[in-house]
Amino acid sequence: MTAMRRRVAITGIGLVSSLGEGLAPHLKALRGEVAPIVDTESFKPYPIHRLAELDLSLQIPKRGDIRQMEAWQRLGVYAAGLALDSAGLKDDEAAKDRLELLVAAGGGERDHAVDGAIATGIREANDKGAYLNEHLMNDLRPTLFLAQLSNLLAGNISIVHGVTGGSRTFMGEEQAGVDAMRIGLERVATGQCEAILVGGAYNAERRDMLLSFELGGLAHKGTPVPVFADDRAGCITGSVGAFLMLEPVEAAAQRGARVFAEVAGVQSGFAKRRPGAVGAELARLIGELGPFTSGTRAISAATGIAPRTAEEREAIAAALPGAEVLAAGDLVGHGLEAAFPTAVAFAAALVAEGDTSDVLVTGAAQWRGEGAARIIAPGGGS
Amino acid sequence: MTASATRDHMGRPVVAVTGYGIVSSLGIGRADNWAAASAGTSGVNAISRFPTEGLRTTIAATVDFALDAPFTSPELGERLAAMAAEEAIGESGIGPIGDFPGPLFMAVPPLELEWPQRLELAEASGQDPVDYDDLLAVAAKGEHRAYHELFLFGGVAARIADRFGTRGAPISLSTACSSGGTAIQLGVEAIRRGETDAALAIGTDGSVQVEALVRFSLLSALSVRNDEPQKAARPFTKDRDGFVMGEGAGALVLEDYDRAKARGTRILAIVQGCGEKGDGFHRTRSSSDGVPAIRAMQAAIEDAGITPDDIDYINAHGTSTPENDKMECMSCAAVFGERMKELPISSNKSMVGHTLTAAGAIEGVFSLMSLAHQRLLPTINYDNPDPAIELDVVPNVARDAKVETVLSNSFGFGGQNTCLVLAAEPR
């Protein structure tokens, strides 16, 4: 189909992290005016960017709803609410009834105490199968399942905020965030969808997820060092929630919405696991979004995992010689499924505040997958 | 672009199905599944995969013939997906296995470390009592690296993408029990956007393991008719008491209609319409007025450019839970009116159980087979009709019928409602 592509605007941004909520604290960090907040004690030896204190009731008024969710869902629902506020749609029931959701999500936290008790107690059990069954039936909270299910972040956004146009949840770690942005953009640009809320959330304050990283030898331990530092040895994760409201530029103008930025393009790739492949794939994706000018800034959602993080940096340097590369992970930690949407939100915030008019966003996943996006000033580009 | 650009009522490319494949508890492949389902066979049995002592539900429609035990859910899910995809791609003739000319959209269950692996790490720690810090210390030794990759959410789709040579990043997705339908919908949308001429859509689920069973059990969602496994999945009956977990995979090769025609392949059917609607009422229950399910069906019919009168048969979500079957009946009545009393609607879940993440894809394949064979599959175990549900459920015995257009319903936890309209090739 060669029908006209519609230009796509970001008309709402919802952000929560260790730095706080909304654009202001994140802009300060992006401008180097405040330092990141890293907790090196609570999950020692793993440094973590823990979520700032939030008054959850501001976005999730019913206590029953809060109780039914795990931390990752709460911070996602909170961030989605901020995005709706910022888009001016929070109380527009008709718009929310049509608004679609595209959420990048993993799963929820396990009950660490139950797991530990079962793993300990089962050793002495004569019938280990019966022991496991008995304790799972008696000790798991019935509602825990719903707090863990991947698509229940979207489900809770529907329940709490009344966004009911339809939802899809992408899984697959970092790449889920890239493809959610890409497919969200393409559906709006080609007229398949009139408005969509895209984003994700990740709670880093959980040992079961640290275990996943550590099994792969991918968790940085000890003193935090920057994402692109030579002695960086894996991920430093952070609790983040990031949602973006996408709609056609024309529709935004018609309803008088503020356009923070436009999404010029999102590309996703899937390199094989061999040296140099990630860099080459990122170079290809970046090439699809170019050419760039000397004023283009770069924000990376890189994990800090070698050697792909270094390959990502080289690919950016080749496309934007001499440009400073900001690692979103240095400011708020690595947010897995939410990492790419967070970096895009940062780019949109910088564009909205006039710090720049053109940002290249990149990200190579912990295991497989690469992404790149270009965020430009309203009315910019060609 | 081919010379004759076929477009649908909205000027979009038409999406053809040129191959499909299936694995379920009834068997491997289309022939075996069709024969067993046509004969009204149940795939539900007592679980033998793990000890069931002390569990409330001890039955499931497992696939025990695909892999040698023991195996994890992601390993079985991958195996089932590969079997279904191989059949679908082989039939489509779209190219050699390993060089699929389009992206992969794959419905996969959420993953995490399972109990045997968790206990293995606990044992290796030598600590008593053992907690997550001990497991982390074991993991840091680097001797269990394979578990990182095995339990990544994106791992199953990545391995399928490599095996079949699909293009670009594979999409792993979940919309709970409507995931299979969503995978097909995403493939249809990609072709309609002109982004690709072909897409591989798969739904797979091999997650009958102890904790998954317990979780559904704790939500009181499962049938406890353990003494009569083959009678336990009984949609639309008065004494239905929950769903039966099932395993399997369904795969569809979707292609731009003109491109498929141009390469001379047989068009098996078209995906004429897709519809979805969210429900913000409750995490596990649907709106009491049924409006979201109604609007999802209407959206699919509208997207197809047809009217409710054009639907010849409904492949029901039909889980056999008290709630779903009542709501689905009510919603169908709202969409189809008086006609619903004679419009056939049947539930494959009566035979293959609720295949969860795979259900939308598996039931899509059964719907396509109904189009191919001009025969409606039965709702088995329909021996005690619910008087509150006035439906022609194609009770117990398959029925030959003229079928040109099928509506396939999928509804899921979290307010997910996805419906597809599948139709015979336009004449």
- Which residue among A235, A254, A273 closes a domain? A254
Q: Parallel, antiparallel, or unpaired for β A20-21 and B405-412?
A: unpaired
- Residue A138, domain member (yes or no): no
A27 and A54 both lie in a single domain: yes
A152 and A60 both lie in a single domain: yes
Domain hosting residue A192, numbered range: 8-110+143-254
For A226-277, what is each residue's pLDDT tens digit? Answer: 999 999 999 999 999 999 999 999 999 999 999 999 999 999 999 998 999 9
Q: How many domains does chain A have?
A: 2
A231 and A325 both lie in a single domain: no
- Which residue among A221, A254, A287 closes a domain? A254
C-alpha separations of A238 from A34, A40, A43, A52, A170 in Å: 17, 12, 12, 11, 20
Q: Parallel, antiparallel, or unpaired for β B405-412 and B313-315?
A: parallel
pLDDT of B120 reads 97
- Residue A1, domain member (yes or no): no
- Using the Cβ of B192 and the Cβ atoms of chain A, whether some distance falls under 8 Å is answered with yes
Q: Considering only CA atoms, which of A249, A246, A251 is closest in space to residue A341?
A: A246
ipTM summary value: 0.97
Q: Distance (Å, rounded) from C-alpha A12 to C-alpha B224?
A: 47
Q: Distance (Å, rounded) from C-alpha A88 to C-alpha A351?
A: 19
- Residue A233, domain member (yes or no): yes
A14 and A75 both lie in a single domain: yes
- Residue A119, domain member (yes or no): no
A341 and A250 both lie in a single domain: no
A209 and A307 both lie in a single domain: no
Q: Per the CB < 8 Å rule, is B112 touching A208?
A: yes
Domain-by-domain residue ranges, chain B?
15-112+151-423, 115-150
Per-residue burial over B71-99, b if 16 or more Cβ lie within 10 Å, else e, is bbbbbbbbbbbbbbbbbbbebbebeeeee
Among A residues 83-102, those touching chain B with beta carbons less than 8 Å apart? 101
For A137-194, what is each residue's pLDDT tens digit? Answer: 999 999 888 989 999 999 999 999 999 999 999 999 999 999 999 999 999 999 999 9
Q: Per the CB < 8 Å rule, is A164 touching B277?
A: yes
Hey, of A72, A96, A164, which one would you mutate to test binding to chain B, going by the most B CBs within 10 A of its CB? Answer: A164
Which residues of A are less than 8 Å from B415 in CB distance? 155, 158-159, 164, 167
Nearest CB to B414; choose among A106, A152, A212 = A152
Cis peptide before B129 (omega within 30 of 0): yes
**Tokens 């280990």, residue located:** A128
Q: Which CATH number fits domain B15-112+151-423: 3.10.450.50, 3.40.47.10, 3.30.565.60, 3.50.50.100?
A: 3.40.47.10
Single-letter amino acid, residue A77: V
- Residue A133, domain member (yes or no): no
Q: Distance (Å, rounded) from C-alpha A158 to C-alpha B283?
A: 9
At B389 the three-state DSSP class reads coil
At B292 the three-state DSSP class reads helix
Here the tokens at position B205 are 């689920």
A89 and A196 both lie in a single domain: yes
Nearest 5°: phi and psi at B178? -110, 15
- Using the Cβ of B323 and the Cβ atoms of chain A, whether some distance falls under 8 Å is answered with no
pLDDT of A382 reads 47
The percent of residues in chain A predicted with pLDDT above 90, rounded, is 94
A149 and A230 both lie in a single domain: yes
- Which residue among A188, A219, A254 closes a domain? A254
Q: Considering only CA atoms, which of B392, B413, B408, B381 is closest in space to residue B44?
A: B381
C-alpha separations of A37 from A303, A329, A367 in Å: 17, 11, 26
- Using the Cβ of B291 and the Cβ atoms of chain A, whether some distance falls under 8 Å is answered with no
What's the rounded mean pLDDT across residues A196-219?
98
Residue of B nearest to A158 (CA): B280
Contact of B415 with B332, CB cutoff 8 Å: no
DSSP single-letter state for residue B306: -
pLDDT of B4 reads 61
- Residue A134, domain member (yes or no): no
Q: Considering only CA atoms, which of A45, A44, A32 is closest in space to residue A327?
A: A32
Report the CATH number at residue A344: 3.40.47.10
Q: Is A276 exposed, middle or buried (0-12, 13-18, 19+ CB in 10 A)?
A: exposed
- Using the Cβ of B159 and the Cβ atoms of chain A, whether some distance falls under 8 Å is answered with no
Cβ pairs A/B, distance under 8 A:
248
Total number of residues shown for chain A: 382
Q: Parallel, antiparallel, or unpaired for β A261-269 and A325-327?
A: unpaired
The residue ranges of chain B whose pLDDT is under 70 are 1-4
Which residues of A are less than 8 Å from B112 in CB distance? 107, 110, 208
Q: Per the CB < 8 Å rule, is A129 touching B50?
A: yes
